[in-house]
Amino acid sequence: MPTMTVPFTDRLVASLKTRDGKRTVYWEPSRHGAGALGVRVSESTKTFVYMYWRDGKAKMMTVGRYPIMSLSEAHKAVGDAMLDLERGGDPAEKQVAENERKKVATTVSDLATEYLEKHAKPLKKTWKEDERILNHDVLPVLGRRRIEDVRRREVVQLLDGIVARGSPIAANRCLAVTRKMFNFAVKRGLLEHSPCTVMDSPARPQRRERLLDTEEVQTFLTHLPDLPLWPPTAMALLVELMTAQRSGEVVSIEWVDVNLDEAVWTIPAKKAKNRKTHRVPLSAPVVRLLNAARLIDMGKGVVFPSRADGAAMVQTATARALHRHHATLAKEPFSPHDLRRTAATHMASIGVPRLVLSKVLNHVDGAVTAIYDRYSYDAEKREALDKWAAHLETLGLEATVAKLEAKANWQVEGKWWDKRKARLDGATTE
């Protein structure tokens, strides 16, 4: 194997070729006792290698491929290996161990799976949204990267791409989920530091102030039943307005949490945002609507089933419905949460006391006296929600409920409904 009489230069390395068409290794002059840098040349590639002696035996390790690794980078890598050798280490064995570690290293995709299964699903009601964000925005870009190799700059570029497509708020949410995922990795000892520390949100959060005025509420009630919507979706939207509860809590109602005889819906602590059990008195129109919803029950125990599989519809179902039809329902676009804000604002305007309204909304009371106040306020909440229902009656609620009852009855008429339920149950029909 030929040995150069002078150290390698970029020009020299670029000019090296095989001898007689066979793989050839060229060496720099050896440093006594410390080994030498070499270039292994084949017909298609050039690779930097390092040869050294340990315990009287020659050993060789791969340093990197040229020109992906520059000559200066190869010299630095060999210098680090020589230092390791002088300190009693074995660079080749260390490289083998590192390569084995890389084979089993956790990727961002692996971390996302562990985060969802061990943190998001058990602890977050909105875990499906975390899953959607990770699958849609994070994993296509970083999924195959080892978690310890992810740099803050890569996360910044990921978020910049989301902002560039015109979705700054989505970028904020992506950062929030990505930060939680990497913090989870730190807490479980998979990482020493998160690449998301000391990162500002890509866009300034905007406080939402949208609420429907009286005319818009009347328009909403008038046109909602006539929209080409899956009836449970329309029903869920109306229940959000009539009860002033959170969208995610409404779409995930289960029959086990509803007592129609007592006209009470109990939101379990595990579903409530503040992790406190919340009793929601149901006004007469809501009870009528839920009785109609029973007709469309698909046997999965949920009040508002998905058209696809009969399970609870996802939280974004009502938001998508409003996005498609907002021009028919109101003057300006609005979200399901805006229905909750609308209900709260109008209830205050018709005389519902602020404390009672807070109890209806299940807000956390930070006052010291709240620690000792264990009164349920059920009677006051019922009075407030009945008063709100009576106000909605003046805007056309009775006709809205009647139309949705009729749509529910129509939905389950004929043999096709029984066949649909049987298909969802995995049964066969003649």
User: Residue 299 carries which side chain, given as an amino acid letter?
Assistant: G
Burial group, residue 404, by CB count within 10 angstroms (0-12, 13-18, 19+): buried
CB neighbour list of residue 131: distance below 8 Å, 6 or more residues apart: 116, 120
Residues whose CB is less than 8 angstroms from the CB of residue 185 and which lie 6 or more positions away in sequence, other chains included: 106, 111, 115, 147, 191, 194
Residue (of 313, 306, 297) closest to 421 by Cα position = 297
CA angle 335, 336, 340 (to 5 degrees): 115
Amino acid at 37: L
Omega of the bond prior to 2 within 30 degrees of 0, cis? no
Straight-line distance from the first to the last Cα atom of the chain, in angstroms, rounded to the nearest whole number: 81
Q: Which of 217, 244, 366, 230 is nearest to 305 (CA)?
A: 230
Whole-model pTM: value is: 0.59
What does the alpha-carbon distance between residue 278 and residue 280 come to, in Å, rounded to a whole number? 6
Q: How far is CA 168 from CA 10, 199, 356, in A?
A: 46, 15, 36
Q: In the numeric block, which tokens belong to residue 67?
A: 């020109």
Distance CA 220, CA 212 (A): 9
CB atoms within 10 A of CB 156: 16
Q: Which residue type is seen at 48?
A: F
Query: Rounded to an integer, what distance in angstroms lies between the CA atom of residue 8 and that of residue 29?
Result: 9
Task: Residue 343: name the closest of 368, 361, 326, 318 by CA.
Answer: 361
> Which residues neighbour 427 within 8 Å (Cβ) at sequence distance 6 or greater?
none
| Cα–Cα distance, 354 to 367 (Å, whole number) | 14
Q: What is the pLDDT of residue 29?
A: 83
Digitized pLDDT (tens) for each residue of the chain, 430 residues in all: 566 667 889 899 999 998 888 889 998 887 666 788 989 999 889 999 998 888 778 888 888 899 989 999 999 988 888 888 888 888 888 887 766 665 556 899 999 999 999 999 998 878 889 999 999 999 999 999 999 999 999 999 999 999 988 888 899 999 999 999 999 999 998 899 999 998 988 887 665 678 899 999 999 999 999 999 999 999 999 999 999 999 989 999 999 999 999 999 999 988 887 778 899 999 999 999 999 999 988 888 999 998 888 888 887 889 999 999 989 998 888 999 999 999 999 999 999 999 999 999 998 765 544 444 557 789 999 999 999 999 999 999 999 999 999 998 888 886 667 766 666 666 433 3
Which two three-digit tokens encode residue 204? 């300034």
Structural domains of the chain sorted by starting position, each given as residue range(s) with its CATH number in brackets = 10-103 (3.30.160.390), 108-187 (1.10.150.130), 214-424 (1.10.443.10)
Residue 429: per-residue pLDDT: 35
**Six-digit token pair at 307?**
């058209």
Residue closest to 262 by CA, chosen among 234, 235, 303, 290: 290
Query: Rounded to whole angstroms, how far apart are CA atoms 2 and 197?
Result: 51
How much is the pLDDT for 126?
80
CA-based nearest residue to 426, from 306, 298, 297: 298
Structure tokens at 229: 């919507």
For residues 179 and 194, the answer to whether their CB atoms sit within 8 Å is: yes
Q: Name the residue type at position 30.
A: S
- How many Å is the maximal CA-CA distance in the chain? 99
- 171-207 burial by CB neighbour count: b if 16+ within 10 A, else e? bbbbbebbbbbbbbbeeeebbeebbbeeeeebbeeee
**Residue 88: what pLDDT?**
83
The runs of H, that is alpha helices, within 196-315 are 214-223, 231-243, 247-251, 284-294
pLDDT score of 160: 93
In angstroms, rounded to a whole number, what is the distance separating the alpha carbons of residues 239 and 218?
15
